[in-house]
Structure 1
Amino acid sequence: MSMQHVPSHRRVVVGVDTHKHVHVAVAVDELGAVLDRRSFAADSGGYGQLIAWAESFGGKLTFGIEGTGSYGAGLAGAVRRRGMGALEVMRTDRRDRRLRGKSDTIDAENAARAVLAGLATAVPKSADGTVEMIRQIKVAKDVAVKARTSAMISLKQVLVNAPDELRQELQPLTKMALIHRCAALRPGKVTSIIASTKHTLRSIARRWEMLDAEISEHEKILAELTAQVAPDLAKAFAVGPDTASEMLIVAGDNPERIRSEAAFARLCGVAPIPASSGMTTRHRLNRGGHRQANAALYRVVIVRMQHHEPTKAYVARRITEGKTKSEIIRCLKRLLARELWAAMRPLREARPPLQVAA
């Protein structure tokens, strides 16, 4: 396809289907006509070539990029550093793929048309500051927590099948006492079932202790980083480093991309949406959003319902109004999202004005 140029006042949208090694781009003008389609390497050199190719069309340029949180993160960052507008595009739904087929070029063209139609409006996370550091440490901690849980399950399973003498000695112990006792076992030379069982229990227990120490170190770093970025958020009642991290990860390093407190609540999955039918008028919570953030809000609400006097008073009042426990929790999660959004104000105010896509 030959290169085409458009007047400077007209809009050009470049849709990009991102992959590990190659990005496929399709340029579309504001009338929906395809200007050109190309493939570029998924590296810094390829990003520069893709941007130069897009600029060659002239016009007001906007990028619609799939996978800005994974394979498209590098390209989104390169576009942002050039001061150009970029929007995050969701993957094409399965129904459309059944009707039109599936190819990288089709996906890239769909991305461009989603921007033209106004279906793609989300600004990608910048992932270039302290919040990205928090996200990475949080990943390391979550992996370690899963491994520690797995180690405890394995330890107890080995103990269930251990010789009677060893099982009767260890089973009555509490969790921490069991860990320390098993870590101190001396199996000696492995020449019997008891020796091999002790060897296995000691190995798993010591692994649990190492993972527990690693998790404590991750939590210490998260506490320092969250207090540095949003001190009011870290000080909120029942909001520990873990919950503060989840809230900051949802907002990203460029929280100004979230237009309002209501938009933040929707990202957390606690914004009510209409669910009416016929003569029935009602609402339900949004099933989308960041599931980990939603779970973090739930944990804070449960703790506050037990130990936070203002929350306990609110619950008592809503019960007298005839609200169910699930309805009260839903309201509390929405109010909590509003409170935490306000606590992140310093992070929003510290950012420069948002570059809006053309």
Structure 2
Amino acid sequence: MSMQQVPSHRRVVVGVDTHKYVHVAVAIDDIGTILDSRSFAADAGGYGQLIDWAASFGGKLTFGIEGTGSYGAGLAGAVRRRGIGALEVVRTDRRDRRLRGKSDTIDAENAAKAVLAGLATAVPKTADGIVEMIRQVKVAKDIAVKARTSAMISLKQVIVNAPDELRQELQALTKMTLINRCAALRPGRVTTVAAATKHTLRSIARRWQQLNAEITSHEKILTELTSSMAPELAKAFAVGPDTAAEMLIVAGDNPERIRSEAAFARLCGVAPIPASSGMTTRHRLNRGGHRQANAALYRVVIVRMQHHEPTKAYVARRTAEGKTKSEIIRCLKRHLARELWAAMRPIREARIESQIAA
């Protein structure tokens, strides 16, 4: 397919289907005509070639990139550094794939057409500041927490199948006493089942201790980063470093990309969705959005329902109005999202001021 030049006042949209090693791009003009399609290596050199190829068409250039949080992150960053607009494109729905088939070129074309039709409007996260640092540490902590939980489950399972005398000695102990006792076991030479069991218990217990120390170090870093970036957010009642980290991760290093508090609530999965039909008017739970952020909001709400006087008063009032506990929790999560969005206002204002100054 020969390349075509587009007048400077016309629009050119480049859709990119991203993969681990290769990115496939399709360029279309503002009436949907395909100008060209190419494949590029998914590395720094390939990003530069792709952007130069896209710029060669002329016109007002915009990129629509799939997977800006994974395989497309590098390309999105390269496009942003060149001062070109980029939008995040969600994967094509299954119905369209059944009708048109599936190929990398078709996916790239669909990405471009989604931008042209106004279906893709999300600005990708920049992932180049403190929030990205927080996200990376949070990943390390979450992995360690899962491993620590797995170690405890394995420890208790080994005790269930341990020789009677050893099982009776350990089964009634509390968690930390059990960990310390098992970590201090001296199995000696592994010549009996009891010695092998002690060896296993000591190994698992010491692993738990190592993971616990690692988690503590991650929590310390998260506390420092979240407190320095968003002190008002970190001070909110029942909002610990984990919850603050999740809220900042949702907002990203460029929170100004989120146009309103309602958009932030939608990202957190707490914006109600109309579910009315006929004479019935109702709303249902939004099952989209960032699930970890939604879970973090839930944990804060549960703590506040038990220990926060204004929240307890709200629950009593809404219960008297006939609301169920689930409905009240959904309302509280929505209110909490509004509160935390307001607490992050200084970050957004600082970003906007820096952009104006630049």
Q: Which residue of 2 aligns with 1:141?
A: 141
| Greater RCO (Cα-Cα under 8 Å, separation 6 or more) | 1
What is the aligned partner in structure 1 of residue 91 from structure 2?
Answer: 91
Residues 353, 118 of structure 1: alpha-carbon distance in 2 compared, 3 angstrom cutoff: farther
User: Given the alignment of the two structures, is residue 126 of structure 1 paired with residue 126 of structure 2, yes or no?
Assistant: yes
Q: Which amino acid aligns with 2:64?
A: G
Supply the distance in 2 between the matched residues of 1:172 and 1:264 (Cα, whole angstroms).
47
| Unmatched tracts of structure 1, length 5 or more | none
Partner of 1:68: 68
Q: Is the 8 A contact 1:256 1:354 kept in 2?
A: no
Indicate the RMSD between aligned Cα atoms, in angstroms: 1.0
Partner of 2:107: 107
How far apart, CA to CA, are the structure 1 residues paired with 2:285 and 2:263?
13
CA distance in 1, matches of 2:156, 2:286: 39
- What TM-score comes out, normalization by structure 2 length? 0.98
Please say if residues 257 and 354 of structure 1, whose CA atoms lie closer than 8 Å, have aligned partners that are also in contact. Answer: no
Offset of residue 354 of structure 1: 10
Are 1:255 and 2:255 an aligned pair? yes
Aligned to 1:209: 209
1:213-271: CA deviations, max 9, x gaps?
00000000000000011000000000000000000000000000000000000000000
Give the 3-state SS of the residue equivalent to 1:351 in structure 2: helix
Structure 2, gaps ≥5 residues long: none
Shift of 1:278: 1.2
The runs of at least 4 aligned residues of structure 1 exceeding 6 Å deviation read: none
Name the residue aligned to 2:236: 236
Deviation at 1:319, TM superposition (A): 1.1
Count the aligned residue pairs.
355
Distance 1:287 1:169 in 2: 47
**Residue 177 of structure 1 aligns with which residue?**
177
Q: Which whole-Å CA distance do the structure 1 matches of 2:135 and 2:224 have between them?
A: 13
SS for the counterpart of 1:169 is helix
Question: Partner residue of 1:351?
Answer: 351
Q: Match for residue 197 of structure 1?
A: 197
Shift in Å, 1:174? 0.3
Percent of aligned positions with the same letter in both sequences? 87
Counterpart of 1:325? 325
CA distance in structure 1 between the partners assigned to 2:350 and 2:72 by the alignment: 26
Counterpart secondary structure, 2:351: coil
Rounded to whole Å, the distance in 2 between the matches of 1:317 and 1:20 is 53
- The residue type equivalent to 1:140 in the other structure is A
- Rounded to whole Å, the distance in 1 between the matches of 2:353 and 2:66 is 24
Task: Return the TM-score normalized by structure 1.
Answer: 0.98
